[in-house]
Homo-oligomer: A and B are copies of this chain.
Amino acid sequence: MYDFTFSMPTEVHFGKGKENLVGQLIKEKTDKVLFLYGSGSIKKIGVYEKIINSLRDSGIQFTELGGVKSNPRLELVNEGIEICRKESINFILAVGGGSVIDTAKTIAIGVPYEGDVWDFYSGKAKIEKTIPVGAVLTVPATASETNGCAVLTNETGMYKRGLKSDVLKPVFAILNPELTYSLPKYYMAASVVDIFAHVWERYFIKSEHSELLDRLCEGVFKTLITEGPSAVYERGYKSTGEIMWASSIAHNDILGIMGDFGSHRTGHEISAEYDLSHGGSLGITMCAWAKHVYKEDINRFCRFAVNVWDVTYDSDNPEKTALEGIKRMESFIHELGIPTTFKNANLPTDGFEKMAERAIDNGLGYVGGGFKKLYKEDIVNIYKLAE
């Protein structure tokens, strides 16, 4: 097993009605918060009112800041920082999905920092201090509610950058599966694919494999396969609960700190170019990435086929076994309603060169690398395999 450090300090409260605990949980730390949320869907599902009541019952003063959008922007972060400083607020409560929580984290490190908060994303400054963040999750996918990651877009030049630091882990995360019920089918499906991809990136690595981490990854894959379709098409407490907790586990490093992330990086460019959801882009790139790279380690893809998809191992033709696993994954994603090709996603196929060039414009000249480094021609080929 490779060396690692790991902790998960976030206090997870899982269950029905747990959002009513926010007042009490925050009261242990402070009595003044910035209440951050997105488009206002939290008002439709009634969680907004519950939060307000919980805060009031605990005597916590709050200032609201709504309007966080997907691919969160720097402008709103600066507005949040301004409010916190002006009103001496030292706690951010984020109610929403990854975008809201990532915005909250960025405001939280910006408040005690004298310079421009973008400095952390551009590498000019190192994160040392933060004010605490608490999260009430409504969209399971990014694991931002229990991990130390945040992603932000700077409108000036449209730079999208990510951060990772233990300091960014929220102090609490409330997971009530019922809060996902109003999520449109497509978004729940994209979430399941995104969660699958977080495990995928950790499973396909070239460094010494760990039986324990492999088995845990396979357990999460199996759970997504069993519970994903029912979470998407039937909703219901059990299946959405499984997906919600799986989403945290998949991407908070308990399944491993190493990864490839080639499927993610090549997917980001499709999202950016065509405004496709993150999960949607991963449906396209994961399958094509697998077809492009499987020959690098056929045994690994056989293990995936046998242990995750119950494919019978063909000792005369392991390659067939490996490909059957990829095929079954492709069917699974397709059945969730997520396209696995540009054509099915109604996207043009004339931007491959441009997207590949942008993907490698990161100072390295390639993306991925935990399993296989992808250069421009690799990326173009991956896009072609998903044509």
- Residues on A facing B (Cβ under 8 Å): 1-16, 18, 177, 208, 210-212, 215-216, 218-220, 222-223, 226-227, 238, 241-242, 245-246, 249, 254
Complex: chain B residue closest to A213, CB-CB: B245
Complex CA distance for A8 and B254, rounded to whole angstroms:
10
Complex CA distance for A8 and B7, rounded to whole angstroms:
6
Q: In the complex, what residues of B have CB within 8 A of residue A7's CB?
A: 8-12
Q: In the complex, what residues of B have CB within 8 A of residue A254's CB?
A: 249, 254
Among B211, B216, B238, which residue has its beta carbon within 8 angstroms of that of A216? B216
In the assembled complex, 5 residue pairs joining A and B whose CB atoms fall closer than 8 Å, in A order, are: A5-B11, A6-B11, A8-B9, A210-B242, A219-B219
Q: In the complex, what residues of B have CB within 8 A of residue A226's CB?
A: 211
Do the beta carbons of A14 and B4 come within 8 Å of each other?
yes
Do the beta carbons of A4 and B9 come within 8 Å of each other?
no
Q: In the complex, what residues of B have CB within 8 A of residue A4's CB?
A: 12, 14-15
Do the beta carbons of B3 and A242 come within 8 Å of each other?
no
Do the beta carbons of A219 and B215 come within 8 Å of each other?
yes
Q: In the complex, what residues of B have CB within 8 A of residue A223's CB?
A: 211-212, 215
Q: In the complex, what residues of B have CB within 8 A of residue A6's CB?
A: 11-12, 14
Q: In the complex, what residues of B have CB within 8 A of residue A1's CB?
A: 14, 177, 238, 241-242, 245
Instruction: Report the minimum CB–CB distance from A216 to chain B (whole Å).
Output: 5
Given A8-B7, A8-B8, check contact A242 B16 (CB 8 Å). Answer: no
Complex CA distance for A226 and B8, rounded to whole angstroms:
27
Instruction: Report the minimum CB–CB distance from A146 to chain B (whole Å).
Output: 9
Instruction: Report the minimum CB–CB distance from A7 to chain B (whole Å).
Output: 5
Given A4-B15, A5-B11, A238-B208, check contact A222 B227 (CB 8 Å). Answer: no
Q: In the complex, what residues of B have CB within 8 A of residue A241's CB?
A: 1, 210
Complex CA distance for A238 and B238, rounded to whole angstroms:
37
Top 10 A-B pairs ranked by shortest CB distance? Answer: A3-B15, A215-B219, A9-B9, A8-B8, A1-B241, A219-B219, A212-B223, A7-B11, A6-B12, A216-B219
Complex CA distance for A13 and B246, rounded to whole angstroms:
24
Q: In the complex, what residues of B have CB within 8 A of residue A245's CB?
A: 1, 210, 212
Complex: chain B residue closest to A219, CB-CB: B215
Q: In the complex, what residues of B have CB within 8 A of residue A222's CB?
A: 211, 215
Complex: chain B residue closest to A18, CB-CB: B3
Instruction: Report the minimum CB–CB distance from A256 to chain B (whole Å).
Output: 11
Among B13, B242, B249, which residue has its beta carbon within 8 angstroms of that of A5? B13
Instruction: Report the minimum CB–CB distance from A1 to chain B (whole Å).
Output: 4
Given A210-B242, A245-B212, check contact A14 B5 (CB 8 Å). Answer: yes
Do the beta carbons of B242 and A212 come within 8 Å of each other?
yes
Complex: chain B residue closest to A208, CB-CB: B238
Q: In the complex, what residues of B have CB within 8 A of residue A249's CB?
A: 212, 216, 254
Residue from A15, A216, A245 whose CB has the most chain B CB atoms within 10 Å: A216
Complex CA distance for A1 and B223, rounded to whole angstroms:
13
Instruction: Report the minimum CB–CB distance from A230 to chain B (whole Å).
Output: 10
Instruction: Report the minimum CB–CB distance from A317 to chain B (whole Å).
Output: 23
Instruction: Report the minimum CB–CB distance from A209 to chain B (whole Å).
Output: 10
Instruction: Report the minimum CB–CB distance from A274 to chain B (whole Å).
Output: 33
